[in-house]
Amino acid sequence: MTRMSRALEWAERAHTGQTRKDGVASYLAHPLAVASLVLRFGGSSEQAAAALLHDTLGLDDITLDSICAEFGERVAALVEAFVDPELPADIPAEILQKYPWETAKKAYLAKLRELDAEALLVIGCEEFHELTELASELRSSPPVEVWKRRPAHPMNYGWYYKEVLKVMTTRLASGHSRALVTEFALELRQLQERVFEGG
């Protein structure tokens, strides 16, 4: 069995019974889509395996150690890149309480800026799928219902995706990964015109 086949088996087991934000689509559709994007934009089988496994930590007794033992140190490191960093200790409690999503995303963006290009490609593909999934939901469902399922205001999502794009533009500037940046920018521009910049 290949590395990717084993990773798919692990992901399928870990996400059994889970659905996406719409409450209908199988959660497994997300890691499958991300892995497909990784391969489409020039990623390796290790990066694709990490894409399949990126949301499995803590599920079905899966840990970074077990991923490392089964798939190798590089795949484990790529999965670890998805883990939210610890927040700075000097952030005031009232800020954490009032702006939990924004605070966490700022810390995550700081982490993205320090990642190597291989890890950033996998995360960029994950963010791209989240972005396209959001666009699809907004086309097929009432916006008020879509935003009820998300923890932040549309304008904050617009800010976050623009910041992700800035990181990707700087770090993924060549080869197949450049096409990811181009498509991400196009999708984001369309959403900005329809949603984010209108509040």
Q: In the structure encoding, which two tokens stand for residue 174, read together?
A: 């060549």
My answer on whether 125 and 42 are in the same domain is: no
Q: What is the pTM of this model?
A: 0.93
Q: What is the rounded CA–CA span in Å between residue 120 and residue 28?
A: 21
Name the band, by pLDDT with cuts 50, 70 and 90, for residue 194. confident
The per-residue pLDDT for range 160-169, each reduced to its tens digit, is: 999 999 999 9
Domain range enclosing 103? 93-198
Question: Residue 199 pLDDT > 50, yes or no?
Answer: no
**Which pairs with CB-CB distance under 8 Å and at least 24 residues apart come from 142-147?**
143/195
- CATH number of the domain at 24, please: 1.10.3210.10
Nearest to 61 by CA among 5, 2, 6, 10: 10
User: How many distinct structural domains can be found in the chain?
Assistant: 2
Q: Quote the tokens at residue 26.
A: 């199988």
| pLDDT tens-digit map of 47-105 | 999 999 999 999 999 999 999 999 999 999 999 999 999 877 777 777 777 678 899 99
Q: What is the DSSP letter of 175?
A: T
CA-to-CA dists, residue 189 to 86, 165, 182, angstroms: 31, 11, 11
pLDDT for 197 equals 57
Of 43, 189, 58, 7, the C-alpha closest to 120 is: 43
